[in-house]
Amino acid sequence: MITTEQLDAALRTALETAGRGYRGANPLVGACVLDAEGNIIATGFHLGAGHPHAEVDALRRLGKMSPAKARELTMVVTLEPCNHTGRTGPCARAIAEAGIGQVHYAVPDNTAASGGADYLRSQGIQATQLECSDAARNLNQRWFIAKAEGRPFITVKIAQSLDGRINAPDGTSKWITSEASRNHAHGLRSRVDAIMVGTNTAVIDDPRLTARTPTGELHERQPFRLVMGERELPNDLALMQGDDWEQILTRDVHEAIVRANELGFGHLLVEGGATVASAFIAADLADEIYCYQAPLMIGAGSSSVNMPSTSTLSEARRFRLDSASRESLTRLGDDIALHLEPLPRG
Amino acid sequence: MITTEQLDAALRTALETAGRGYRGANPLVGACVLDAEGNIIATGFHLGAGHPHAEVDALRRLGKMSPAKARELTMVVTLEPCNHTGRTGPCARAIAEAGIGQVHYAVPDNTAASGGADYLRSQGIQATQLECSDAARNLNQRWFIAKAEGRPFITVKIAQSLDGRINAPDGTSKWITSEASRNHAHGLRSRVDAIMVGTNTAVIDDPRLTARTPTGELHERQPFRLVMGERELPNDLALMQGDDWEQILTRDVHEAIVRANELGFGHLLVEGGATVASAFIAADLADEIYCYQAPLMIGAGSSSVNMPSTSTLSEARRFRLDSASRESLTRLGDDIALHLEPLPRG
């Protein structure tokens, strides 16, 4: 018989395990499998879109066993198992096929993937929602907001000096941040569906916006390139290599997101420049921020975040170090990197 | 017989131990005591001005022993033992009185406290400079520079938002940083000889500039208050409580330092505002920086560091996380705190 304390402990472990994944088009999810005495015998997590879901990951780590043994097992998962065939098969079916006896989940799934608990029950598996689900809901609070607003999960990248500058008065900025930070940012690019930059950044910096390995090779998965803004673009920009790019003729972030949705993107990375990044932050559309700080003080030049409408401190946007991430405050070469999430809204 | 490898290892341990102290009027120093087989049997460090030196700290941790036993011991210390009676007695004499047989030190002392090695030799103790002293010299590179320039060691404090702002356009700034950051900054105040602020900060913020405990009581040791600038001060400022304050009628940081020297201050804390702090950074007079970052983006308002003469990126001032400190990158409540040292000069 598994006690309430053991379920609570399993949920805490599942929440911690969830933090090993990356935020993005899918929510962070963690799972634990308990034996009949309530000992945790396997954990699993969802690394990100295209990877196995947490439940399937935990089942894989568990290995094969007899149906009688499996029937004694309990799974604790931070989110209701999905009932949806996307890039991976539905988790509810995988759990039923593994023969797990009971499932406890923290947060019900109200998205298109819902119905997992009902499916499990139809297969004779006890599926129960845990009572204390606040932490599990908070884990993905911004993902739920993005879903509720019918838009992609949005990551904003900022690369600045310690004093919040992105260049010197003459425009020099290459490279403010370290090689380790740039490699980290390329990892980000390799996980998103699309990158967005402003027209000025596209023209002035002329970036390729490809996701490259530290040795300069292309990652297997490449982001779509979106350029936002009304400025006319020359025809020979580096980002125009291949067909996977588009200019969105607007300065309005909400209009830009509508188009990103039409194109089917679940995870958008806003790389800048400062005007575009600031517009997303000001509109409360930054679901997470990676802020790379190079260890220098420039003392002049452009600021990383500009919100001209701010007049008093209470209008500032507030964040916290990502509470799920194990690397929310790290060193990247000589730089420091902050992984931030917006504070929950009132 | 102690091997070269054991001496190297002991020096590394002494360097690490040195990092447990605070930078300031005195250099960071660490010491190890080795037995006849080369095992480290005690370590010591110098916490800061007014506290026992590293050698004395190590001897205290060692405890009492017979002269014959003491004679077999070797001390490894990152800096030549002092021969100077300041707030504490000379270390060279303490080592001789403890009856230690041999001393190896990394960096010779060329200050007014020099002569320790000669004194030890005069007492029949082998005193030898270690060959590889670069790391020990780097440990205190800014302290040596301050000494060579005949000026106090200077700590600059910066409290800002993530985007490098110190207030919103309407001037609101109270409190940008967390209670934990403010408590940390009061600890800093309690260790320095004097705090410097600009006249505008003195008038607009009207700070007391006292060092207070988290419960609001005064620390035993209080800093002298220096106000720098030519603006005339009203007679009722909070910092004018008691006699330990002075206005220095200049906008020139070098002139301000001359006066701080005349007043006998070995450790100066520059608290701001941004103009004064920036002037010290621009003049390469910030020997260390504590940068507190509150987790918000303001997007407008004053910047934390302003160096109007910067035109291109190569003119930026470069730092690194303090390599000796165990807490060079930490969380303070919801804030993050960076303890920075300037990169060694060419």
Residue B46's pLDDT is 96
CA–CA gap between residue A10 and residue A78 (Å, rounded): 10
**CATH class for domain B4-146?**
alpha beta
Residue ranges matching CATH 3.40.140.10 in chain A: 4-146
Coil, helix or strand at residue A44: strand
DSSP lists the bridge partners of residue B341 as B320
DSSP A166: S
User: How high does pLDDT run on average in chain B?
Assistant: 94
Q: Does the CB of A166 have a partner CB in chain B at under 8 Å?
A: no
For the record, the structure tokens of B49 come out as 């001005």
Q: What is the pLDDT of residues B81-121, one digit of tens each?
A: 998 776 667 899 999 999 999 999 999 988 877 889 999 99
> Does B327 appear as a known binding residue?
no
For the record, the structure tokens of A207 come out as 């970036």
Q: What is the pLDDT of residues A194-236, one digit of tens each?
A: 999 999 999 999 999 999 999 999 999 999 999 999 999 999 9
DSSP lists the bridge partners of residue A320 as A341
> Looking at beta carbons, which residues of chain B come within 8 Å of A317?
296-297, 299
Q: Looking at the predicted structure, is the pLDDT value of residue B75 above 80?
A: yes
Q: Does the CB of A65 have a partner CB in chain B at under 8 Å?
A: no
DSSP A334: T
Strands B30-34, B40-45: pairing is: antiparallel
Q: What is the pLDDT of residues B164-222, one digit of tens each?
A: 999 999 999 887 899 999 999 999 999 999 999 999 999 999 999 999 999 999 999 99
Q: Looking at the predicted structure, is the pLDDT value of residue A87 above 70?
A: no
Q: Can you tell me the mean pLDDT for A99-119?
A: 91
Catalytic residues of B: 55
Picking from A158, A162, A330 by the largest number of B CB atoms within 10 A of its own CB, the best residue to mutate is A162
B251: confidence class by pLDDT, cuts 50, 70, 90: very high
Those residues with Cβ within 8 angstroms of residue A151's Cβ, 6 or more apart along the chain or in another chain: A257, A260, A261, A285
Listed range (A134-138, A184-188, B48-52) with the worst mean pLDDT: B48-52
Those residues with Cβ within 8 angstroms of residue A52's Cβ, 6 or more apart along the chain or in another chain: A44, A46, A60, A88
Smallest CA–CA distance from A293 into chain B, residue: B162
CB of A100 closer than 8 Å to CB of A125 = yes
C-alpha distance from B274 to closest chain A C-alpha (Å) = 10
Identity of the residue in B167, B172, B336 whose CB atom sits nearest the CB atom of A329: B336
> Looking at beta carbons, which residues of chain A come within 8 Å of B337?
none
Q: Predicted ipTM? A: 0.92
Backbone angles phi, psi at B139, to 5 degrees: -55, -35
> Looking at beta carbons, which residues of chain A come within 8 Å of B303?
163-165, 303
**CATH class for domain B150-342?**
alpha beta
Residue B345's pLDDT is 60
> Looking at beta carbons, which residues of chain A come within 8 Å of B307?
297-300
DSSP lists the bridge partners of residue B290 as B157, B339
Those residues with Cβ within 8 angstroms of residue A242's Cβ, 6 or more apart along the chain or in another chain: none
Q: How far is CA B120 from CA A172, A242, B32, B41, B194, in A?
A: 55, 75, 17, 21, 35
CB contact under 8 A, A305 and B338: no
CB of B111 closer than 8 Å to CB of B83 = no
Residue ranges matching CATH 3.40.430.10 in chain A: 150-342
CA–CA gap between residue A157 and residue A290 (Å, rounded): 5
Coil, helix or strand at residue B85: coil
Residue B344's pLDDT is 74
CA–CA gap between residue B49 and residue B86 (Å, rounded): 10
